[in-house]
């Protein structure tokens, strides 16, 4: 046995107040916690999502209310806040969908190696953030 | 190991089974397929993007039936996920039970609203 071997570090449950800032979460772990966060965001904003669905499909008049929410605002929120919330929902949906498909793929093909976990996490993050930027630029009228 | 059965059984814990895991995958898969169908119907529709095109996406009876199933799947999927989160982050059993009940009310209410919107199209 080599004398230089350090004692193996032991990790317990991390504490939100003391460990989160220094904890080096692997990319697969980042995808995992963001999967949770994105799901929670959509759960909380469910009434807003249904409101958008309602206004957009019910009638020509309600469709006008739907589009004006993004320009003139809604209730006491200005239009740009509505756009930001919509952008958050776009990201949450994309991340949740892609991370979910990653789960299904791993279940179906038993791809559970450390390497695949990392490479598929990179793909998930690049796709979800990339598509969010593209759709966000369209939402804010950059092209 | 602490006793967690009999009178000490955790009443708001996991179901110790396969069902929720399987439900989560099939409801998620259904919603993924639904996303592709809606996307395809928008992209391959004729005419300018506006109310007529968007309402037309949900016009056929089969699309309404499918959307109905997707709303049920979404509520069920969200329940499994939210319960997972609460089991991890809300340890006191009384508080967890309360938040779980409120979550169910929230989800069932939202599901009913979504179905009401769909029903009158």
Chain A residues lying within 8 Å of B106, measured CB to CB: 43, 46
Q: Higher model confidence: residue A15 or residue A103?
A: A103
- Is it the case that residue B40 has pLDDT exceeding 90? yes
- Is it the case that residue B77 has pLDDT exceeding 90? yes
Band (A73; pLDDT cuts 50, 70, 90): confident
Distance CA B72, CA B27 (A): 9
Tell me which residues of chain A, numbers 29 to 88, contact chain B at a CB-CB cutoff of 8 Å.
36, 39-40, 42-43, 46-47, 50, 53-54, 56-60, 63
Closest-CA distance, A37 to chain B, in angstroms, reads 10
**C-alpha closest to that of B75 among A78, A46, A6:** A46
Distance CA A91, CA A19 (A): 27
Q: What is the pLDDT of residues A101-131, one digit of tens each?
A: 999 999 999 988 999 999 999 999 999 999 9
Residue in chain A closest to B104 (alpha carbons) equals: A43
DSSP assignment, residue A65? H
Mean per-residue pLDDT, A27-37: 95
With H, G, I as helix, E, B as strand and everything else as coil, classify residue A127.
helix
Distance CA B116, CA B120 (A): 7
Are B81 and A47 within 8 A, CB to CB? Answer: no
- Is it the case that residue A2 has pLDDT exceeding 60? no
Residue in chain A closest to B85 (alpha carbons) equals: A36
Q: Write down the architecture of domain B6-119 according to CATH.
A: Up-down Bundle (1.20)
Are B117 and A100 within 8 A, CB to CB? Answer: no
CB of A14 within 8 Å of a chain B CB? The answer is no
Three-class secondary structure assignment of chain B: CCCCCHHHCCCCCCCCCCHHHHHHHHHHHHHHHHHHHHHHHHHCCCCCCCHHHHHHHCCCHHHHHHHHHHHHHHHHHHHHHHHHHHHHHCCCHHHHHHHHHHHHHHHHHHHHHHHHHHHCC
- Is it the case that residue A41 has pLDDT exceeding 90? yes
Per domain, the residue ranges of chain B are 6-119
pLDDT at B4: 72
pLDDT at A37: 96
A contact test, residue of B31, B51, B89 with most A CBs within 10 A: B51
**In contact, A62 and A74? CB cutoff 8 Å:** no
CA angle B22, B27, B30 (to 5 degrees): 130
Asked if CATH classification 3.30.200.20 holds for the domain at A27-44+78-139, the reply, yes or no, is no
- Rounded to two decimals, what is the model's pTM? 0.87
């Amino acid at each position: 046995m080599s004398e230089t071997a350090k004692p193996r570090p032991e990790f317990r449950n991390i504490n939100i107040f003391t460990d989160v800032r220094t904890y080096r979460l692997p990319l697969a772990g980042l995808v995992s916690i963001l999967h949770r966060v994105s799901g929670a965001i959509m759960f909380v904003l469910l009434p807003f999502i249904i409101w958008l669905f309602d206004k957009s499909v019910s009638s020509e008049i309600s469709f006008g209310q739907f589009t004006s929410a993004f320009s003139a605002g809604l209730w006491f929120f200005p239009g740009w806040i509505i756009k930001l919330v919509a952008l958050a929902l776009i990201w949450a949906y994309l991340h949740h969908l892609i991370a979910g498909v990653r789960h299904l793929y791993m279940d179906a093909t038993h791809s559970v190696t450390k390497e695949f976990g990392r490479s598929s996490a990179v793909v998930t993050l690049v796709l979800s953030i990339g598509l969010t930027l593209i759709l966000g630029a369209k939402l804010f009228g950059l092209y | 190991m602490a006793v967690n059965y009999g009178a000490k059984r955790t009443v708001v814990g996991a179901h110790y089974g396969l069902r929720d895991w399987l439900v989560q995958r099939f409801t998620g898969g259904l919603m993924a397929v639904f996303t592709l169908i809606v996307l395809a119907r928008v992209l391959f529709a004729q005419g300018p993007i506006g109310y007529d095109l968007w309402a037309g996406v949900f016009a056929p009876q089969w699309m309404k039936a499918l959307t109905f199933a997707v709303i049920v799947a979404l509520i069920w999927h969200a329940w499994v996920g939210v319960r997972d989160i609460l089991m991890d982050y809300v340890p006191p059993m009384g508080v967890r039970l309360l938040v779980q009940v409120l979550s169910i009310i929230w989800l069932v209410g939202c599901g009913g609203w979504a179905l009401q919107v769909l029903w009158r199209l």
